[in-house]
């Protein structure tokens, strides 16, 4: 189980990336923040761990993650030039894998920096 | 353009006595920037905190940040490049045309005063935001500001730093730099990286319709991009990984829900000064992390025959 209180959590809502945020969780939601600004507090409180959405959708219909991963791999493999875009709200570890995937399928990889 | 003269926010906190924000509204967009890193922080060599620092705000309109500043310079929209160029000329004691300066909305005295303050600072820092980099002149404005700051180092210590928005956009730059050599907009379709902003940037690729599939990671271009780009995303197979169902998810062929970065997914994120910080999740998500889903897609593709003999695969997916 993850902890229910944290003294030095990191907020990734804006580029300040404050790493001194106190958090208190109750079940699947964060109920209290310390030292965060208004934006950070909303960020932490609005992202619960509830199951609000289907695991995956294929053509708008609920599907399992396995099926969706398979479909995604097929689409990317068949494409001549896929685009991998975003990357700004994911971890560095995920970004690194996204670059590896872009190389594997021979595509363009780009972030919000290009806007 | 050369390199950027920069430093960490810790150095800003401990040393900066002149702080310039250009084309940004930190009071609203980076609310704790003042107190943690700049104005109000007490630093080793700025023990008085706010009293030991001067803040200059340059922007095209009055924002809530104005009331934090000592000097507010309101530039006419689209005239930032002219202002920076004038500052560079004044720095080198070159003659400038007063009438042309007036077109920027500022007076020669205001700019001379700013140059004097810059030269006389012990440690100056210029933070620049999207009001500079996304308006007329765009990357030419960034280049001009970086050059101005580099040239100031003939007189005193001066650094610059972009005010980055979204949580880990800095991380995206850093990761792409060390894996491909370029910070964004990298085309790997020949099996080696090519970089050409304006050609391989997402908006251009989508509007021209160059790509025939899209993998969207924690972004919502379906809500923010120009309509031709959105139409193209709806036409091709689009795959979305996101903690929420986004506009893009609704036009995509595949959506996979993932855990929220930093709240229920662990890892690393970069602060705007390129300091990596650990993310400590406090909640346990019912969904997999982006990292895990990308790895699983990678492994599924990896077992298929390579699309080119040279293709397999230099960037490790460890
Ligand atoms: S707490 Fe506020 S200032 Fe700090 S990273 Fe989060 S949103 Fe930004």
A-chain residue closest to B261, CA distance = A90
Q: Where is pLDDT greater, at B264 or B198?
A: B264
Tell which phi-psi region holds residue B291, choosing left (phi > 0), alpha (psi between -120 and 50) or beta: alpha
Q: Does A76 contact B315 at a Cβ distance shorter than 8 Å?
A: no
Domain-located, residue A75 = yes
Domain-located, residue A51 = no
- Distance CA(B221)–CA(B230), nearest Å, equals 7
Look at residue B1 and tell me whether its pLDDT is greater than 50.
no
Same-domain check for residues A71 and A37: no
Same-domain check for residues A35 and A70: no
- How many angstroms separate the first and last alpha carbons of chain B? 34
Same-domain check for residues A41 and A60: no
User: What's the mean pLDDT in B284-311?
Assistant: 89
Same-domain check for residues A22 and A40: yes
Same-domain check for residues A79 and A61: yes
Same-domain check for residues A60 and A105: yes
| Number of residues that make up chain A | 115
Same-domain check for residues A36 and A9: yes
Q: Establish, for the pair of chains A and B, how many residue pairs have beta carbons separated by less than 8 Å.
A: 366
CB count in 10 Å sphere of residue B219: 25
**Among the ranges given (A89-93, B282-286, B314-318), the one the predictor scored with the smallest mean pLDDT:** B314-318
Confidence of residue B318 (pLDDT cuts 50, 70, 90): low
Burial B235-274 (b: 16+ CB within 10 A, else e): ebbbbbbbbbbbbbbebbbbbbbbbbbbbbbbbbbbbbbb
Please give the residue range of the domain that contains residue A27.
4-46
What part of B 62-101 touches A (C-beta under 8 Å)?
Answer: none
Look at residue B166 and tell me whether its pLDDT is greater than 90.
no
- pLDDT, tens digit, for every residue of B213-253? 999 999 999 999 999 999 999 999 999 999 999 999 999 99
Task: Report the 3 state secondary structure along chain B.
Answer: CCCCCCCCHHHHHHHCCEEEEECCCHHHHCCCHHHHCCCCCCCCCCCCHHHHCEEEEEECCCCHHHHHCCEEEECCCCCHHHHHHHHHHHHCCCCCCHHHHHCCCCCHHHHHHHHHHHHHCCEEEEEECHHHHCCCCCHHHHHHHHHHHHHHCCCCEEEEEECCCCCCHHHHHHHHHHHHCCCCCEECCCCCCEECCCCCCHHHHHHHCCCCEEEEECCCHHHHCCHHHHHHHHHCCEEEEECCCCHHHHHCCEEEECCCECCCECEEEECCCCCEEEECCCCCCCCCCHHHHHHHHHHHHHCCCCCCCCCCCCCCCC
Specify burial of residue A9 (Cβ count, 10 A radius: 0-12, 13-18, 19+).
Answer: buried
The reply to whether B209 touches chain A by the CB within 8 Å rule is no
Residues of A in contact with B290 (CB under 8 A): 90-91, 94
- Distance CA(B2)–CA(A104), nearest Å, equals 31
Same-domain check for residues A60 and A42: no
- pLDDT, tens digit, for every residue of B72-103? 999 999 999 999 999 999 999 999 999 999 99
Q: Given this model, what pLDDT does residue B309 score?
A: 57
Look at residue B34 and tell me whether its pLDDT is greater than 50.
yes
Same-domain check for residues A61 and A106: yes
Q: Given this model, what pLDDT does residue B91 score?
A: 97
Domain-located, residue A115 = no
Number of folded domains in chain A?
2
Residues of chain B with pLDDT > 70: what percent? 96
Token pair for A87: 């990357």
Confidence of residue A2 (pLDDT cuts 50, 70, 90): low
Residue ranges per structural domain of chain B? 9-162, 169-303
* Second-level CATH architecture of B169-303: 3-Layer(aba) Sandwich (3.40)
Q: Does A104 contact B301 at a Cβ distance shorter than 8 Å?
A: yes
Of A12, A47, A69, the CB nearest to B300: A69
Same-domain check for residues A106 and A61: yes
The H-or-E segment that residue A23 falls in is strand A21-26
Give the bridge partners for B193, in sequence order: none
Q: Given this model, what pLDDT does residue B191 score?
A: 87
Select from 3.40.228.10, 3.30.200.190, 3.40.50.720, 3.30.70.2190 the CATH code of B9-162: 3.40.228.10
Q: What is the mean pLDDT of chain B?
A: 94
Q: Given this model, what pLDDT does residue B138 score?
A: 86
Same-domain check for residues A61 and A17: no
User: What's the mean pLDDT in B152-156?
Assistant: 97
User: What's the mean pLDDT in A74-85?
Assistant: 96
Q: Which atom of ligand 1 is nearest to the CA of B32?
A: 3
- pLDDT, tens digit, for every residue of B98-149? 999 999 999 999 999 999 999 999 999 999 999 998 899 888 999 999 999 9
């Amino acid at each position: 189980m993850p902890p229910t209180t944290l003294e030095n959590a990191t907020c990734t809502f804006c580029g300040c990336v404050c790493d001194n945020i106190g958090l208190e969780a109750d079940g699947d939601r964060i109920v209290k923040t310390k030292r965060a600004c208004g934006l950070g507090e909303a960020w932490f409180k609005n992202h619960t761990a509830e199951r609000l959405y289907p695991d995956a959708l294929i053509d708008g219909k609920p599907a399992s993650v396995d099926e969706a991963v398979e479909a995604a791999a097929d689409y990317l493999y068949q494409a001549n030039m896929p685009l991998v875009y975003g990357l700004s709200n994911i971890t560095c570890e995920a970004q690194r894998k996204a670059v590896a995937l872009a190389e594997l399928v021979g595509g363009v990889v780009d972030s919000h920096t290009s806007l | 353009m050369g390199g950027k003269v920069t430093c960490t926010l810790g150095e800003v906190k401990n040393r900066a006595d002149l702080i310039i924000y250009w084309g940004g509204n930190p009071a609203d967009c980076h609310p704790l920037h003042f107190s943690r890193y700049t104005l109000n922080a007490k630093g080793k060599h700025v023990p008085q905190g706010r009293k030991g620092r001067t803040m200059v705000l340059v922007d095209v309109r009055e924002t809530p940040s104005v009331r934090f500043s000592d000097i507010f310079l309101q530039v006419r929209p689209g005239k930032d490049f002219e202002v920076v160029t004038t500052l560079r000329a004044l720095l080198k004691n070159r003659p400038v045309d007063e009438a042309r300066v007036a077109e920027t909305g500022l007076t020669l005295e205001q700019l001379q005063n700013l140059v004097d303050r810059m030269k006389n600072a012990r440690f100056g820092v210029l933070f620049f935001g999207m009001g500079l980099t996304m308006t007329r002149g765009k990357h030419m404005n960034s280049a001009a500001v970086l050059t101005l700051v580099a040239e100031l180092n003939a007189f005193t210590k001066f650094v610059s730093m972009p005010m980055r928005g979204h949580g880990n956009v800095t991380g995206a730059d850093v990761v792409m730099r060390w894996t491909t050599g370029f910070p964004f907009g990298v085309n790997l379709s020949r099996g080696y990286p090519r970089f050409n902003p304006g050609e391989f940037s997402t908006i251009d690729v989508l509007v021209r319709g160059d790509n025939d599939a899209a993998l969207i990671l924690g972004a919502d271009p379906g809500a923010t991009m120009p309509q031709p780009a959105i139409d193209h995303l709806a036409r091709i197979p689009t795959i979305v990984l996101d903690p929420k169902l986004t506009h893009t998810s609704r036009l995509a062929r595949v959506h996979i829900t993932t855990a929220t970065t930093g709240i229920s997914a662990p890892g690393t994120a970069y602060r705007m000064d390129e300091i990596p910080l650990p993310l400590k999740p406090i909640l346990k998500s019912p969904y997999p992390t982006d990292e895990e889903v990308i790895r699983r897609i990678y492994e599924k593709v990896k077992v298929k025959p390579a699309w080119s003999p040279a293709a397999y695969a230099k960037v490790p997916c460890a």
